């Protein structure tokens, strides 16, 4: 949400909510879930010390010791046979049951043409020219934009920039094809991949779901193979990009030696709101044109050329709660205009979903020292009934980089405070919001592209992507860098202007 002054609130100050303080209650069941995931992969933890001990013991053997062992084994063929059989069985079981590694070969973010740029002043002029908004709501939009954190170079589709606007199916298809094909063409050029090599295709776009589907549009345009496994995800909000990544990960476990193409985007043309409900007007002020294409692989031979390896995905869904379910809803206003309404409870719901998500993720990623401190204080509070605040782990010890969905300035402010992040950690999200606006599910990839353009990604670095979506959902993905990214060899939307960033974004920038 935009950060409004009390004089011009989106909702009444008496009922407004902020993200809850994560130092409050922690639900034990989510801690257990995280440890369940950890124990599921506990074989690695138990085998590693055993291998080290055996290697250390063997290093002390002399040649005479090895000769004596050989002489002993020659007369114990049954023992040798049983041990060998057991070793072969365990090795086979290990290699057949361990999950396939999922690599991010490369990704691309679509950068629209300069003619699509929309300054904040032009946005206000377009709002006036439509003749759809009252003077009071025009003033409301102006105040939203002034506090939104958006800069002067965000993009809108042609249908919205036209006077009068031309929101129709043809223009919506044109926008979708422009974004998807632009991102895919760049990705194919980066990876030298042939379209026929793609075995899995996943497209996510929440508010535009034509027939044939967007995935079918991609298949038709690039003449993808007939047995491709394709999915088209709709209505899943700004976190649909990470849901697509999680789905691709699962599919890559079942289909060996396969490439998966994930396309994350949103469509503005048919979802521009022309009514006077303030809860629906905010999306006009924040959402902008953009999209990303990501290529994943489970081929071991692709490890050498891939940028990242997917380490964890954690999905949290709070849809069973009515308040969470209805906090972001597409509906008609009293005049019949369709828009996306944002509830007064959105910030509180987002905070609760994030708390659940990081409580589950923590045991998977935090160093043992942080886990012990967290576990000790949790036991003292839950079992010993001591009146102490739960220990909030330092996630900066688990991750070098953070890509937080650039949904709005206020959300970034609250997450920066509650996760105890520095300006440097939140910089990719703030600059993405400033330069490209809220591009929905693709914003995480503009943020990762920013980190690459700045030359911050080093070998072994861990990056945490966090996204929120309607329903209500909070999803996380953890990536490990497989190599140091050299900005001089990169092609992404930031490269031509990266030296201009970061910039100072005032809390209120008058139009």
Catalytic residue chosen out of the listed positions 232, 317, 403, 492: 317
266: left (phi over 0), alpha (psi -120 to 50) or beta: beta
Taking 50 as the threshold, does the pLDDT of residue 15 lie above it? no
Q: How would residue 73 be classed by pLDDT, with cut points 50, 70 and 90?
A: low
Choice among 275-289, 352-366, 436-450 with the minimum mean pLDDT: 352-366
Taking 60 as the threshold, does the pLDDT of residue 86 lie above it? yes
Contact call for residues 270 and 76 (beta carbons, < 8 A): no
Per DSSP, the three-state class of 237 is helix
Taking 90 as the threshold, does the pLDDT of residue 366 lie above it? no
Is 67 designated active site? no
Q: What angle do CA 205, 120, 279 make, to 5 degrees?
A: 55
Average pLDDT over residues 481-508: 95
Helices (H) and strands (E) in the chain, counts: 17, 13
Q: How far is CA 4 from the centre of its chain?
A: 26
| C-alpha–C-alpha distance, residues 117 and 123, integer Å | 10
Per DSSP, the three-state class of 365 is helix
- Mean pLDDT, the chain, rounded, equals 87
Backbone angles phi, psi at 222, to 5 degrees: -100, 5
How many domains does one find in the chain? 1
Q: How would residue 22 be classed by pLDDT, with cut points 50, 70 and 90?
A: very low
CATH code, 317: 3.40.47.10
Catalytic residue chosen out of the listed positions 204, 327, 401, 425: 401
Closest CA to 470 of 405, 410, 401, 418: 405
Catalytic residue chosen out of the listed positions 109, 205, 238, 324: 238
In a domain, 386, yes or no: yes
Give per-residue pLDDT as tens, 234-293.
999 999 999 999 999 999 999 999 999 999 999 999 999 999 999 999 999 999 999 999
35-69 b/e (C-beta count within 10 Å ≥ 16 → b): beeeeeeeeeeeeeeeeeeeeeeeeeeeeeeeeee
Average pLDDT over residues 373-398: 77
DSSP H or E stretch at residue 329: strand 328-332
| C-alpha–C-alpha distance, residues 3 and 147, integer Å | 6
Average pLDDT over residues 128-157: 94
In a domain, 248, yes or no: yes
What six digits make up the tokens of 63? 């040649």
User: How many other C-beta atoms lie within 10 A of the C-beta of residue 508?
Assistant: 9
Catalytic residue chosen out of the listed positions 438, 474, 475, 492: 438
What six digits make up the tokens of 241? 């990009």
- Identify any residues that bridge with 198 across adjacent strands, giving them in sequence order: 259
pTM, two decimals, is 0.84
| C-alpha–C-alpha distance, residues 438 and 430, integer Å | 10
In a domain, 264, yes or no: yes
Average pLDDT over residues 437-464: 97
User: How many other C-beta atoms lie within 10 A of the C-beta of residue 399?
Assistant: 19
| C-alpha–C-alpha distance, residues 483 and 489, integer Å | 13
Write the CA distances from 432 to 347, 428, 444, integer angstroms: 20, 6, 9
Of the chain, the percentage scoring pLDDT greater than 90 comes to 65
**301 vs 34, residue with greater confidence:** 301
Q: Which residues are CB-contacts of 153 (< 8 A; sequence separation ≥ 6)?
A: 117, 119, 435
**Residue length, the chain?**
511
Catalytic residue chosen out of the listed positions 232, 405, 474, 492: 405
Give per-residue pLDDT as tens, 151-170.
999 999 999 999 999 999 99
Contact call for residues 167 and 268 (beta carbons, < 8 A): no
Write the CA distances from 72 to 62, 79, 241, integer angstroms: 15, 11, 60
In a domain, 256, yes or no: yes
237: left (phi over 0), alpha (psi -120 to 50) or beta: left
Residue 428 lies in domain: 103-500
Is 72 designated active site? no
Helices (H), 340-439: 346-365, 368-382, 409-418, 423-436
Taking 70 as the threshold, does the pLDDT of residue 66 lie above it? no
Angle between helix 423-436 and 409-418 (nearest 10): 170
Is 317 designated active site? yes
In a domain, 462, yes or no: yes
Per DSSP, the three-state class of 89 is helix
């Amino acid at each position: 949400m935009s950060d409004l002054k009390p004089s011009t609130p989106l909702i009444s100050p008496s009922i407004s909510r902020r993200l809850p303080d994560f130092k409050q209650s922690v639900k034990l069941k989510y801690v257990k879930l995280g440890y369940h995931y950890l124990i599921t992969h506990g074989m690695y933890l138990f085998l590693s010390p055993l291998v080290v001990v055996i290697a250390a013991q063997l290093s002390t053997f002399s040649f005479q010791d090895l000769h004596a062992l050989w002489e002993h084994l020659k007369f114990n063929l049954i023992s040798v046979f049983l041990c060998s059989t057991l070793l072969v069985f365990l090795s086979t079981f290990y290699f057949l049951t361990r999950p396939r590694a999922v690599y991010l070969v490369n990704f691309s973010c679509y950068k629209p043409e300069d003619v699509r740029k929309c300054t904040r002043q032009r946005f206000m002029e377009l709002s006036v020219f439509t003749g759809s908004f009252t003077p009071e709501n025009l003033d409301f939009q102006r105040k939203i934009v002034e506090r939104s954190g958006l800069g002067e170079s965000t993009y809108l589709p042609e249908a919205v920039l036209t006077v009068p606007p031309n929101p129709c199916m043809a223009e919506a298809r044109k926008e979708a094809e422009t974004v998807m094909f632009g991102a895919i063409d760049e990705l194919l050029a980066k990876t030298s991949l042939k379209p026929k090599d793609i075995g899995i295709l996943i497209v996510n776009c929440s508010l535009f779901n034509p027939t044939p589907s967007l995935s079918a549009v991609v298949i038709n345009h690039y003449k993808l193979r007939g047995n491709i496994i394709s999915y088209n995800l709709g209505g899943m909000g700004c976190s649909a990009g990470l849901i697509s990544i999680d789905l691709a990960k699962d599919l890559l476990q079942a289909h060996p030696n396969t490439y998966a193409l994930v396309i994350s985007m949103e469509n503005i043309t048919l979802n521009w709101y022309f009514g006077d409900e303030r809860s629906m007007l905010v999306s006009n002020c924040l959402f902008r044109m953009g999209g990303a294409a990501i290529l994943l692989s489970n081929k071991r031979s692709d490890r050498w050329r891939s940028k990242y390896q997917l380490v964890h995905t954690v999905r949290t869904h709070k849809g069973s709660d009515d308040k969470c379910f209805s906090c972001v809803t597409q509906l008609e206003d009293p005049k019949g205009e369709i828009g996306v309404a944002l509830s007064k409870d959105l910030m509180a719901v987002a905070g609760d979903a994030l708390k659940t998500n990081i409580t589950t993720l923590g045991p998977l990623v935090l160093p043992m020292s942080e886990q012990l401190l967290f576990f000790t204080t949790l036991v003292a509070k839950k079992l010993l009934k001591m009146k102490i605040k739960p220990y909030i782990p330092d996630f900066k010890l688990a991750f070098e980089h953070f890509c937080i969905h650039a949904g709005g300035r206020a959300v970034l402010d609250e997450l920066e405070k509650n996760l105890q992040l520095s300006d440097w950690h939140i910089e990719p999200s703030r600059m993405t919001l400033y330069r490209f606006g809220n591009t929905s599910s693709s914003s995480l990839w503009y943020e990762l592209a920013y980190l690459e353009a700045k030359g911050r990604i080093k070998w072994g670095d861990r990056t945490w992507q966090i996204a929120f979506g309607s329903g209500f959902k909070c999803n996380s993905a953890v990536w490990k860098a497989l190599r140091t990214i050299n900005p001089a060899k990169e092609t992404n939307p930031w490269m031509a202007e990266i030296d201009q960033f970061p910039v100072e974004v005032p809390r209120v920038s008058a139009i």
